[in-house]
Amino acid sequence: MSEYVIDDRDMPRFKVNRQVMTDPEVFARERDRIFEHSWLYLGHETELRKKNDFKTRTVAGRPLIFARDNTGEIRVWINSCPHRGAMLCREPRGNARFLTCFYHGWSFSTAGDMVSMPGDDSYSEDFARPDLAAPPRVDSYRGFVFVSFDPAIVDLETYLAGATEYLDLVCDQSESGMEVLDGTHEYSVKANWKLLVENSVDGYHAVSTHQRYFEMVLAARGKLDPNALGESRGIDLGNGHAVMAGSPTTEGLFGRPLSEAGTADRAARFDRLRERYGDGWVDRMQGNRNMIIFPNLVIIDLVMGVLIRKIDPISPDYMEVTAWELAPPEEGGELRKQRLDNFLTFWGPGGLASPDDVEALETCQVGYGGRKELGWSDISRGMNKTANSGTDELQMRAWWRRWNELITGEQLPPEQQDELADVLKAPRQSPNPAQATV
Ligand code: FES
């Protein structure tokens, strides 16, 4: 049995040893066994709109250049000069035909080829001019670009397993392709990175932790329907990915109310999509979903906004977080305004929800100072049911079982659950090829 996870189906009880939130050796093992052997999110293709656009990112400790080359192809390079190591791009973003190292002036195209090196007559004639280095594997799924530092890893779609269905539910919301909007949220949390993984798929905390936010929504709307979220379930998507999915609602519990015109604009877009994908699938799109893609990518789709969140572990008690907003380019002005407002007021680092989450996670981390006397956290909620709800914790347990497998080698079977209600599993009609542009 693992020293870190207790998965007792008879009790039933699921516990996680708090040592995994504080121990530098566990942290080093996560780097080695998880981040060296997973597909890791880098960015979205639409962040690079023009040829020769680039962004710089850090993934699994590697400085990377995320670029579109001069033919329009997406490229990923290690952001380190082959000469003596200086970073080629020191800016977070830009557009450049050539990536020139400021140290001695070696220069490369965005396609990675060396273009020039000052004073090259001081090198022998057979000196092999080095090109830029790349991560061993780069692939994308519907615009989401991932890298892996394991050359032997399975292909991305196999790795994503059941998560592809929920990415499709997000990506199909636009007739022309969802795009990442300009601007990011960047913040840090003095807590272990796995606490934000848990929090991102935790429906149980919403009402108590985010009371201020719901009071704001209540003040704007005048009423909140407690049944508005309808059916919801935590679902194990395989390979450590999991989702908390809610059925469609006319109103939901999130965001300021739309005007009649804004409501009609949203309904018209979804109605056009019905012809392409069928009613069941489009109804599902209008539900909500909080998904974790193992290990550290979160997609939160609350209809009033779609958040992409990348969680970067820095040390056992410190993480950095980057978030982007994903949107259909064709939505009208009011919907865009509401989306940006929600991105700021709900998810923003100075908004009405994220600071409460940060406070909760940081107090957990402080609380782990007492782990000698209180050594285990409980994640058992809903284990006694064959049809859990979104406020239960199955989705966290699914993630933790994969974590446990990679860290300790112990394999734990998934939980048996009843079939999902139709409203949570309606399939996507194949798009009419004449209409499919995405
Ligand atoms: Fe880049 Fe020398 S380190 S040119």
Confidence at 227, pLDDT banded by 50, 70, 90: low
Q: Is the Cβ atom of 81 under 6 angstroms away from ligand 1? A: yes
Distance (angstroms) between ligand 1 centre and the Cα of 43 equals 27
On the CB side of 385, how many CA atoms lie within 13 Å of its CA?
14
- How far is Cα 403 from Cα 33, in angstroms, rounded to an integer? 9
pLDDT, one tens digit per residue, over 105-155 is 999 999 999 999 999 999 999 999 999 999 999 999 999 999 999 999 999
- How far is Cα 34 from Cα 21, in angstroms, rounded to an integer? 15
Q: Is the Cβ atom of 83 under 6 angstroms away from ligand 1? A: yes
pLDDT at 437 over 60: no
Q: Is the Cβ atom of 9 under 6 angstroms away from ligand 1? A: no
Lowest-confidence region among 207-211, 258-262, 275-279, 370-374: 258-262
pLDDT of res. 438: 45
Name the residue with higher pLDDT: 141 or 255: 141
pLDDT at 433 over 50: no
pLDDT at 432 over 60: no
Distance (angstroms) between ligand 1 centre and the Cα of 307 equals 38
pLDDT, one tens digit per residue, over 293-311 is 999 999 999 888 999 999 9
Q: Is the Cβ atom of 132 under 6 angstroms away from ligand 1? A: no
> What domains sit in the chain, N to C, each tagged with a CATH number?
40-140 (2.102.10.10), 162-435 (3.90.380.10)
On the CB side of 422, how many CA atoms lie within 13 Å of its CA?
2
Q: Is the Cβ atom of 106 under 6 angstroms away from ligand 1? A: yes
pLDDT, one tens digit per residue, over 317-330 is 999 999 999 999 99
Which of 87, 89, 104, 108 has most ligand 1 atoms within 8 Å of CB, for mutation? 104
Q: Is the Cβ atom of 104 under 6 angstroms away from ligand 1? A: yes
- Between the CA of residue 401 and those of 16, 145, 308, 310, 397, what are the distances in Å? 10, 25, 23, 21, 6
pLDDT of res. 228: 62
pLDDT of res. 251: 59
Confidence at 229, pLDDT banded by 50, 70, 90: low
Distance (angstroms) between ligand 1 centre and the Cα of 127 equals 16
- How far is Cα 169 from Cα 152, in angstroms, rounded to an integer? 29
Q: Whose CA is closest to atom 3 on ligand 1?
A: 84
pLDDT of res. 230: 76
Distance (angstroms) between ligand 1 centre and the Cα of 107 equals 9
Name the residue with higher pLDDT: 302 or 71: 71
pLDDT at 226 over 70: no
Q: Is the Cβ atom of 90 under 6 angstroms away from ligand 1? A: no
Confidence at 338, pLDDT banded by 50, 70, 90: confident
* Reported pTM: 0.95
Mean pLDDT of the chain: 93
pLDDT at 332 over 90: no
pLDDT at 434 over 60: no
Contact residues for 401 (Cβ-Cβ < 8 A; gap 6+): 5, 7, 240, 412, 414
Q: Is the Cβ atom of 108 under 6 angstroms away from ligand 1? A: no
> Taking residues 424-433, what's their average pLDDT?
81
pLDDT at 396 over 50: yes
Q: Is the Cβ atom of 84 under 6 angstroms away from ligand 1? A: yes
Contact residues for 283 (Cβ-Cβ < 8 A; gap 6+): 248, 423, 426
- 101 CA closest ligand 1 atom index: 1
- How far is Cα 207 from Cα 212, in angstroms, rounded to an integer? 9
Q: Is the Cβ atom of 114 under 6 angstroms away from ligand 1? A: no
Confidence at 253, pLDDT banded by 50, 70, 90: low
> Taking residues 75-80, what's their average pLDDT?
98
